[in-house]
Every structure is written in C-alpha cells, then in structure tokens.
Amino acid sequence: MHRFFTPLLRRLYIFSCAFLLVYYSVWLVHHSSWNKERLYQRLLHGSQDDKLRAVSALIFVDGEGQLIRALKSRSPMVRQIAANSLLNLWSIKAGNKAHSLLESADQSIGRQAYADALATLTDAIDKYPKFAEAWNRRATLYWQLGKFKEAIEDCRTVVGLNPNHFAAWQGMGLCQVRLGDLNGACHSFRAALKINPHDRALQYLLLHCEDLLQQVVPEQIRRYDAV
C-alpha cells in the first residue's frame, strides 16, 4: 500500500504546486500595473461595451488609482462611470460581510427605520474601524437626521482613511454650510474638486459658498487664500 500511494501522492503534490503557481501568476498579471493601465486605456478609448467591461475589471483588481484619474477625463460618460465605480469599489473594500452590513442599513433606511440603520452602521464601524465607506454611510445618515456636527466628524474620519473620497468631502462641506462654517465649507468643496474637477454640482456649491463668504466676511477669503 505504501509503495502504491507514494508515487500517486507525489504526483498530486506536484500537480497542486503547479496549479497554485499558475493561479498566483495569473493573479499577479491581473493585478499588475500593466494590466490596470491597459484597462484604463480601454475605459478612456473603447466602445461603450469596452468601457463597461474595463471598469468592471478595474473594480475587481482594485484599480482605484486609474478610476481616480478617469474622473479628470474629457468624456462625461467616462467620468460618470468612474465616479459610480469608485463608490462601488469603496463599498466592498472591507469584504463581503462588511458590505452586507451596508446593504442591511440601506434596507432599513428604505423602511425609514433610521434607528436600526444607525445601529447597523455603528456595528459595521465597530467591527471594521478602517472601513471608510461605513463611516461615510453613517455620516450620510446623520445628515438626513439633521445631526450635522456628528456627520462632519464621521466625514473627517472618512477622508482621513481615504483622502480621495470626493463624496465625503462634499458631504462635509454641505454640513459646514448648514452650521455657518463657510470658510470650512469652501475648503471641503475645493478638496472635492481637486479629485473630481468636472463635477458641476461641486463647482456651483463652491461658487455659491464663496459668494456667501464674500458677502458675510470678505476678509476671511483673503485670510484663507493666503494660507
């Protein structure tokens, strides 16, 4: 029995090692900078179907840097696809279990069960404290509940974990406007526009906020620009 199984087990071991080597090599190629750049070019210059396939692949291989770059594209379609894809990518960053908590919170919000949603998001934050999107979703919920100070604190955590989270910068700016912190709001909107420069809503918000600041305390603009 020993002589019979030893060669078989040896062959199985060699086969397993070869399979793992091939699998790991394929994984490395898919997640390589070369492949991410190839997908980025397809997103920019491919047909609509090519763009959608490329962006799906970029989400799969964690091509956040390429999607951030795509926000600066001249194509409105590419920018919209990239923005939506980034939000999707950020929502799955911590894995399936963390993502399922976000979905559960969304369902509670849909039923207007805000206390349940808040408890679920707080649970997600406790379990995954570095999961920026969990903090962002709770900040959004605080905004809906009119708890602007709490929303700002969560937004600050989001951008500390993920400085490219343009939606959190925008949300923080909106809360700061509601609290009368126009100077801080201008800073937040500018930070969002550095990441997502073609967003017309952000452009309008910044211009409107600067106009308000000019009317109320014009010297604050000069002091802020001098920093």
Average pLDDT, the chain: 86
Across 151-165, average pLDDT? 98
What band does 199 get if pLDDT is binned at 50, 70 and 90?
A: very high
Q: How confident is the model over 198-206, as a mean pLDDT? A: 96
Cα–Cα distance, 166 to 86 (Å, whole number): 10
Domain limits of the chain?
A: 42-56+68-91, 95-144, 163-227
Tell me the whole-structure pTM to 2 decimals.
0.81
Q: Which residues contact 150 (CB under 8 A, 6 or more apart)?
A: 139, 142
Q: What does the alpha-carbon distance between residue 111 and residue 108 come to, in Å, rounded to a whole number?
A: 5
Q: What is the mean pLDDT of residues 39-46?
A: 90
Tell whether the model's pLDDT for residue 26 goes beyond 90.
no
Query: For 98-120, how does the pLDDT look when each residue is reduced to its tens digit (9 = 90+)?
Result: 999 999 999 999 999 999 999 99
| Tokens at 68, concatenated | 């951030």
| CATH code for the part of the protein at 163-227 | 1.25.40
167-197 residue pLDDT tens: 999 999 999 999 999 999 999 999 999 999 9
Confidence of residue 126 (pLDDT cuts 50, 70, 90): very high
Task: Give the chain as a 3 state SS string.
Answer: CHHHHHHHHHHHHHHHHHHHHHHHHHHHHHCCHHHHHHHHHHHHHCCHHHHHHHHHHHHHCCCHHHHHHHCCCCCHHHHHHHHHHHHHHHHCCCCHHHHHHHHHHHHHHHCCCHHHHHHHHHHHHHHCCCCHHHHHHHHHHHHHCCCHHHHHHHHHHHHHHCCCCHHHHHHHHHHHHHCCCHHHHHHHHHHHHHHCCCCHHHHHHHHHHHHHHHHHCHHHHHHHHHC
Model confidence at 16: pLDDT above 70:
no
User: Between 128 and 50, where is the model more confident?
Assistant: 128
